[in-house]
A and B are shown apart, each in its own frame.
Chain A
């Protein structure tokens, strides 16, 4: 379990990093929580590691208008403990404890999780669910790619060679009564989930749903939003029957991941149960019921 030989560079700036990444078979290392084990097992054998962890300005959490922008190398533990995230992006705050486990969150980064695009990863699911954006720099220009277009499939993204994820933009809902829910099922507390669901809703003063978004991950090759379901639920009071009926339809048409870890039927069944729970939690939280 020793990695195959590789070169290592530590660029001092984003532009330097992009230049380094333009060289063939170069890969980014940030927190290393996914990369290091697969290097050790020689499942990946890049010619060169480009370490971006110490590039100034690439880490940090800041509010920008109607969004919170999280720098790519921000450690997951920083976001987990951030008052800004807790107040402004509560769905991310709810999901972060499910990401790996405490020691991996100490080093793992938010940008790394999105760029890695593991189907079971929680952070891309939250970003997709909220309609967030991946901020990408390619050495010349900075580009914003909708999360849904960024994550293409298992471990596949729209990131071009020589480009670097520099930040994630999470939309902030200004609504007064919002609620979030996040559920997943995995063999153990820190394992890759079989299925996961994230939901965020807003209610008006009368308890009617004014905004809704729901995303499914892990059961699918990439995180997906169920906009038709959201549309259907907006205007309802999100009664249990509304949620159950809507979710059943929304899950029936999901493209389910096929692998040896669980049957497609299981993933679909679990996704349905978890989506119901996520929406129910979100509703109850918005109603002020303790979840």
Chain B
């Protein structure tokens, strides 16, 4: 499919249609779904990081006013199947409530159902649990040791995954390189922490035998997983996608919440609402992100060319398996970043611990990996006394080398990294920026410039599933769109997922409008429920511009071709001899002319005028396969991960008062290339939000456990999110290298900013610390620790 040369609606600064209802406070979120007779759930949390449950006494709680039920793990486990694991780890079993043993502080041991949430909370306090405390393990390295306490004794160890991939001749490249550097960096456990916690409302209709679900979800195969766990036919679970989701970026998975609420709704025969409060969300919402230690060694030449890399990534997934281990797999598709590193040894290790369960977070493991790769580039530059940008330039893949096959089997679609860097340096006035750093240093401040150059793999395939789980043969991760033109000529298109702020309605309408050359604002976008939906995999993996945009494009193109066939048939000419413009069709070199409504009328009312064997009506559907997603991984672990690769280049200037240790941003510039931009406002919002999120990861956000296994950061008092005060003015420098693999040249942007900001901020701080001869190598870098490190370095000088 060749893209139009000039766009009419794509790339133009059109309003985001969803914004109107959100700005006016008229979104419809799960908390707005109120059903007659609805009852509320509160959860009883474990006080222990690990303990055997001896007894749960609910008598006092059941005696409280308004209480309908108290359900503990044993009852639930007898009625539902365990939740799915991503890896082949059948002995790591998980139910929505702890069964027999608790495995982290905050884990739910019982659910209390009452007429109001307040009553449920009052009663939850009276549920008496007696425990026998068990030994626990929090640290990933400790959990990895063979003599560690196993979080799941039946599994035998804490190791969920330990696989070493070797792509290319690592041994030879290391042997031939005159230099090597080894280092460790640590990525603290953070997440995306949306303002709206996870919530679900479930109603069971026994007369129609259907379970209706309204949920704040962003979860592939959600309905299937609910049905499977609840032992219902999949067509007895109806998920309503017309619910606005108040933020997610990966964490709104909600399987355990929904299975629990679904069981309760059926047992009580009442609609059940489970909306996490902040404590439940932070402690046990299955919403923590990667918690990762990287050990990296790079082999390089004296001119800074990096020949090979060895990386061990050790991820602490917490108490249960889930999909989290796959977050070590996705980065395989961009394991060399934007660089021509010839070979890679990658050891991916995933261990359980007595922390809360980890789930997907924006980038699915890519932001931590990018932080490790970018640290390597900075260290190589420092070791050789070379300029950091120059080292990047020397190692970048050149624009004439695309599509570029990286050692781990992914072919990058396109890019022009050198030009983006040139544009950013021209924009910031690079010599002036360096001078500004020197001026700040002369004022007695520590000042540093941070650099990062990162990729955003996009188009969300699921190739990491078969890569890490040989029993999984998934080779498609489709997305769909259906377009219907009614008898009055109005266009309605369907999307088959919830949205958590990504602007999918604007996206689909813009693309369909572009193809059909009609005003996108006149196109209705609807979200059927899951039973009326076409196959889809939800907005994960920075995929919707590519996949929903692609499906909408193809469905619209099918519709357009049908209109052309109808017109050519009326004109008695070849289809090639008509011109389609703004919805109407003219015969080229002839008198024929049909307006949009003429064509609609023929399709809907004049079967006798249709070409032979054409179906009446104007309805088209497209189920789209992921571009490039054709094959399963090779036995040595090479796979085409995602189809598209956006590029971002950050330049950050920070100043640090050496006594106070507080990094202050003096300049923040990002060069961004995500190919063709479908809606500039959406892409800008993603990028700014992503940078804010990345600054949080670099400086502020972490779920902290004390050495007793108690979670300390349970609320926004201790889990510190950046506010408007902490986020600098960000300057965005655009570049467009269209992807050859997508319909309009678009790439993904849902993770932009976040994938490079943590690396850039860390780089800036370390540049500021360079004169003191120290580096910070764990995120987040907190103010007191930074000041203490500076003071120690000064004292030892």
Minimal Cβ-Cβ distance residue in B for A3 = B118
CB contact list, B107-133 vs A, under 8 A: 117-118, 121-122, 125
Q: Are B277 and A1 in contact (CB under 8 A)?
A: yes
* A252 contacts partner chain B, Cβ-Cβ < 8 Å: no
Residue numbers in A under 8 Å from B657 (CB-CB): 273
Contact B278 A1 (CB under 8 A): yes
Interface-located stretch among A127-135, A149-157, A168-176, A187-195: A187-195
Minimum CB–CB distance from A99 to chain B (whole Å) comes to 14
Given A2-B118, A262-B784, are A188 and B726 also a contact pair (CB < 8 Å)? yes
Q: Which residue of B lies closest to A195 (CB)?
A: B660
Q: How far is the CB of A90 from chain B (nearest CB, A)?
A: 24
Chain B residue nearest to A261 in the complex (CB): B784
For A274, give the chain B residue with the smallest CB separation.
B660
Interface residues in A106-146 (C-beta closer than 8 Å to B) = none
> A2 and B660: CB pair below 8 A?
no
Interface residues in A236-291 (C-beta closer than 8 Å to B): 260-263, 265-267, 269-270, 272-274
Check B279 against A41 for contact (C-beta < 8 Å).
yes
Q: In the complex the two chains form, is B122's CB within 8 Å of A188's CB?
A: no
Return the chain B residue nearest A40 by Cβ.
Answer: B277
Are A266 and B661 in contact (CB-based, < 8 A)? Answer: yes
Within 8 A of A (CB), among B41-61: none
In this complex, the interface size class of chain A, counting residues with CB under 8 Å from chain B, is 20 to 34
Q: A185-B660, A188-B722, A189-B725 are in contact. Are A269 and B700 (CB under 8 A)?
A: no
Distance A4 CA – B121 CA, assembled complex (angstroms): 8
CA distance A1 to B715 in the complex (A): 11
Q: Is the CB of B726 within 8 A of A273?
A: no
In the complex formed, the residue of A with least CB distance to B119 is A2
Q: Is A4 a contact partner of B122 (Cβ separation < 8 A)?
A: yes
Q: At the interface, yes or no: B720 with Cβ under 8 Å from chain A?
A: yes
Flag whether B788 is at the interface (Cβ < 8 A): yes
Q: Which of A188-215 contact B (CB under 8 A)?
A: 188-191, 194
Specify which chain A residues have a CB less than 8 angstroms from the CB of B118 in the assembled complex.
2-3, 5
Given A187-B782, A190-B725, decide whether A265 and B122 contact each other with a Cβ distance below 8 A: no
User: Within 8 Å of chain A (Cβ to Cβ): is B791?
Assistant: yes
A251 to B563, CA, bound (A): 82
Asked if B791 contacts A269 (CB within 8 A), the reply is yes
Which B residues between 260 and 287 are near A, CB-CB below 8 angstroms? 277-279
Write out the residue numbers on chain A whose beta carbons fall within 8 Å of the beta carbon of B700. Answer: 187-188
Classify the secondary structure of B's interface with A. loop
* Chain B residues whose C-beta falls within 8 Å of the C-beta of A41 in the assembled complex: 279, 715
Q: Which residues from chain A contact B117 at a C-beta distance below 8 Å?
A: 2
B693-720 vs A, CB cutoff 8 Å, 1 = contact: the mask equals 0000000100000100000100101001
A1, A261, A267, A272 — which one has the most chain B CB atoms within 10 A of its CB?
Answer: A1
Residues of A within 8 A of B125 (CB): 4, 42
Query: Are the CB atoms of B787 and A270 closer together than 8 Å?
Result: yes
A191 contacts which chain B residues (CB < 8 A)?
A: 720
A187 touches B720 (CB 8 A): yes
The residue in chain A whose Cβ has the minimal distance to the Cβ of B40 is A2
Known interface pairs A190-B723, A272-B659, A273-B659; A266-B787 also in contact (CB < 8 Å): yes
Q: How near does chain B come to A220, taking the closest CB pair, in angstroms?
A: 16
Chain B residue numbers with a CB within 8 Å of A263 are 784, 788
Range for the number of chain B residues in contact with chain A: 20 to 34
The answer to whether A188 and B788 touch across the interface, beta carbons within 8 angstroms, is no
For the complex, give the distance between the alpha carbons of A262 and B118 in Å. Answer: 36
Are B725 and A185 in touch, CB under 8 angstroms? no
Whether B121 pairs with A188 at a CB distance below 8 angstroms is no
Question: Counting chain A CB atoms within 10 Å of each CB, which of B659, B722, B783 scores highest?
Answer: B659
Q: Which residues of B contact A261 (CB under 8 A)?
A: 784
- Chain A residues with Cβ under 8 A from B121's Cβ? 1-2, 42
- A28 to B712 alpha-carbon distance, docked (Å): 28
| Binary flags per residue of B716-744, CB closer than 8 Å to A gives 1, else 0 | 01001011011000000000000000000
Instruction: Say whether B278 contacts A185, CB under 8 Å.
Output: no
A265 contacts B788, CB within 8 Å?
yes
Q: How far is the CB of B631 from chain A (nearest CB, A)?
A: 48
Check A266/B788 contact, CB under 8 A, given A185-B662, A194-B783, A273-B659. Answer: yes
Q: CA separation between A270 and B785, bound complex, in Å? A: 12
**A5 CB contact (under 8 Å) in B122, B279, B712:** B122
Give the shortest distance, in Å, between B332 (CB) and chain A (any CB): 35
B484 CB to closest chain A CB, in angstroms?
A: 44
Would you give the 0/1 interface string for B345-375, flagging 1 where the beta carbon is closer than 8 Å to chain A? 0000000000000000000000000000000
- Closest CB of chain A to B654's CB: distance in Å? 15
Q: A2-B118, A266-B661, A270-B660 are in contact. Are A188 and B723 (CB under 8 A)?
A: yes
Most buried by B among A3, A260, A270: A270
Question: Which parts of B651-685 form the interface with A (CB within 8 Å)?
Answer: 657, 659-662
CB under 8 Å from chain A, chain B span 462-502: none
Point out the residues of chain A lying under 8 angstroms from B277, CB to CB: 1
Q: Is the CB of B791 within 8 A of A265?
A: yes
Is B720 a contact of A194 with CB atoms below 8 Å? no
Which of A3, A188, A273 has the largest number of chain B CB atoms within 10 A?
A188
Would B784 and A194 count as touching, CB distance under 8 A? yes
A2 to B726, CA, bound (A): 31
In contact, A188 and B278 (Cβ under 8 angstroms): no
The closest CB in chain B to the CB of A1 belongs to B277
State how many angstroms separate the Cβ of A104 from the closest Cβ of chain B. Answer: 13
Q: What is the chain B residue whose CB lies nearest that of A269?
A: B659
Q: With the chains together, A270 CA to B657 CA distance in Å? A: 10
Q: Which residues of chain B are near A37, meaning CB under 8 Å?
A: 717
Q: CA A171 – CA B715 in complex, angstroms? A: 39
Closest chain B CB from A45 CB (angstroms)? 10
A262 to B785, alpha carbons, bound, how many Å? 8
CA of A5 to CA of B662 in the docked complex: distance in angstroms? 42
Q: Are B122 and A187 in contact (CB under 8 A)?
A: no
- Extra contacts besides A269-B787, A270-B659 (19): CB < 8 Å: A1-B278, A2-B118, A2-B122, A3-B118, A4-B122, A5-B122, A185-B660, A187-B782, A187-B783, A188-B725, A189-B725, A189-B726, A261-B784, A263-B784, A265-B788, A266-B661, A269-B659, A270-B787, A272-B659
List 7 contacting pairs A-B, 8 Å CB cutoff, sorted by A. Answer: A2-B117, A4-B125, A5-B118, A5-B122, A41-B279, A187-B783, A267-B784
Residues of A within 8 A of B (CB): 1-5, 37, 41-42, 185, 187-191, 194, 260-263, 265-267, 269-270, 272-274
Closest 5 CB pairs of A and B: A189-B725, A262-B784, A273-B659, A1-B277, A2-B118
